[in-house]
Amino acid sequence: MKIAITITAPQTDAPADPRFGRAAAFCVIDTDSGAREAHPNPALEAASGAGVRAAQTLIDLGVEAVISGAYGPKAHQVLAAAGLGLYLAPAEVKELDALIERFQSGALARAETATNGGHAHA
Amino acid sequence: MPEPLRIAVASGKGGTGKTTLSSALALVAAGRYATRLLDCDVEAPNAALALRPSLSEQRAVSIPVPRVDEARCTHCGRCAEVCRFNALAVTPRQVLVFDELCHGCGSCVWICPEQAMSESEARIGMLDAGTTETGIDFAQGSLDVGQSSGVPILRALKRWTPAAWRVSPRIEIRDAPPGASCAVVETLRDVDAALLVTEPTPFGLHDLKQVVAICRELGLPTAVAINRDGIGDAAVEDYCAEQALPILLRIPLERHLAESLAQGNSLIEAAPEYREPLARLLQGLIELAEAPR
Ligand code: SF4
Ligand code: SF4
């Protein structure tokens, strides 16, 4: 399974970034093979809609689950519409290995909440 | 109908006394010329507080936002890719449109290879107009809460001729939004001269430079007014000298003035002694705007 964690620099050993839309980068992890790739977050350049752009980036990367500190309403809406699992990284856990382990053992809480800030036109 | 002479009053940040000055300038101008004031600060219009117009006309402003026909959409992602404002997201099953991020540019509709998109009008704000007791034609634009782009409102504001207005103003004064955003550029784009209000502090200088850069880019005759003159340092002054920016007005920091303005009085009510300097400021701006370039 392919998962993504928001990270503070575009390196596979960077610590977790608590922000989603304005995270520095994403670490995409293949939990089966253990392979990791760091992708800079193109939404950092965005004047508006950073959350939407970041969410689109992860959808295009084929990620199935995301781990971050918090999700804005638009990002949450897009990721949920694409069927991704959204998990919350506890503030004190910064290390990717620790987060992956917690994810795999089912210890991470799901981000269920999002105030509805946009409209879906299905 | 002859075009009015257009003067924009701008500043790099809020709280520099920009609106105080633009409304005072309009009052002084109205004593001699048919004058109109446009409040272009669509996120927080407040020139009406100083000028107290009776607003008699109203108009909604809308932009064309995309709607997706999911039966035709192949979820190719082209529309989201082309949208500079990140107002679209394409998931494998649906396209999400965030109206409040959309600027109505039409790029997505144009690029969609399946003709799966159409446009629908969505309201983003409104315009109000009227006249003041002092005879100023007044209009303001305001952006609805949560909307992101003031530019379409400004375009509509600039084009509007409300029925209540007199036919042909000689002077149009625009109270620009604070900062150096797209909305500031849209306000300044077609004016004849710009007056930049600043404070003689390092922050004031930093913000001033950003607006000066916009004015230079647009090729605008530009002058400066220094508010709270006497605080801070001489860096703003040195910069103006170096850039050949005339300083047409200085308003020293005076407590009674600040208090009176805070109570919602116009500058001329608060300090009648400014009538003369303001008349000279207006004259200076008109000369700047009409000087051969
Ligand atoms: S460009 Fe057209 S076909 Fe492609 S995802 Fe957007 S709406 Fe659908
Ligand atoms: S009209 Fe322009 S701003 Fe609006 S969604 Fe389409 S591309 Fe984005």
CATH number of domain containing A63: 3.30.420.130
Name the residue range of residue A95's domain.
Answer: 2-105
What pLDDT score does A116 carry? 32
Give the pairing of strands B54-68 and B171-175. Answer: unpaired
Q: How confident is the model at residue B1, as a pLDDT?
A: 58
Q: Are A101 and A47 in contact (CB under 8 A)?
A: no
The verdict on residue A57 lying in a domain is yes
Å from CA of A60 to ligand 1 middle? 14
- Please tell me the distance in Å from B10's CA to the nearest CA on chain A: 22
Task: Find out if CATH 3.40.50.300 is the number for domain B5-61+134-290.
Answer: yes
Rounded to the nearest angstrom, the minimum Cα separation between B72 and chain A is 12
C-beta of B136 in contact with ligand 1 (< 6 A): no
Pocket probe mutation, ligand 2, options B62, B63, B65, B68, max atoms within 8 Å of Cβ: B65
Q: How far apart are CA B250 and CA B268, in angstroms?
A: 15
pTM for the predicted model, two decimal places? 0.79
Residue A118 lies in a domain: no
> How many independent structural domains does chain A possess?
1
Decide if A79 is inside a domain: yes
Q: To which H or E segment does residue B243 belong?
A: none
Does A112 reside within a domain? no
Fold annotation for B62-123: Alpha-Beta Plaits (3.30.70)
Residue-by-residue pLDDT tens, chain A, 122 positions: 999 999 999 999 999 999 999 999 999 999 999 999 999 999 998 888 999 999 999 999 999 999 999 999 999 999 999 999 999 999 999 999 999 999 999 999 999 875 333 333 32
Q: A-chain residues within 8 Å CB-CB of B89?
A: 52, 55-56, 59, 78, 81
Q: Best substitution site from B68, B82, B83, B84 to test ligand 2's pocket, by max atoms within 8 Å of Cβ?
A: B83
Chain A partners within 8 Å of B90 (Cβ): 56, 59
Q: Do B70 and A83 touch (CB under 8 A)?
A: no
Q: Which residues line ligand 2 (CB under 6 A)?
A: B 65-66, 82-83, 85, 87-88, 102-108
In the predicted model, residues of chain B with pLDDT beneath 50 are: none
d(CA B42, CA B44): 6
Q: Are A6 and A26 in contact (CB under 8 A)?
A: yes
Q: Check A82 against B91: CB less than 8 A apart.
A: yes
Q: What is the identity of the amino acid at B290?
A: E
The whole-angstrom separation of Cα B275 and Cα B115 is 60
Going from N- to C-terminal start, the domains of chain B cover 5-61+134-290, 62-123
Is residue A116, in this structure, part of any structural domain at all?
no
- Name the pairing type of β-strands B117-131 and B137-143: antiparallel
User: What is the ipTM metric for this complex?
Assistant: 0.87
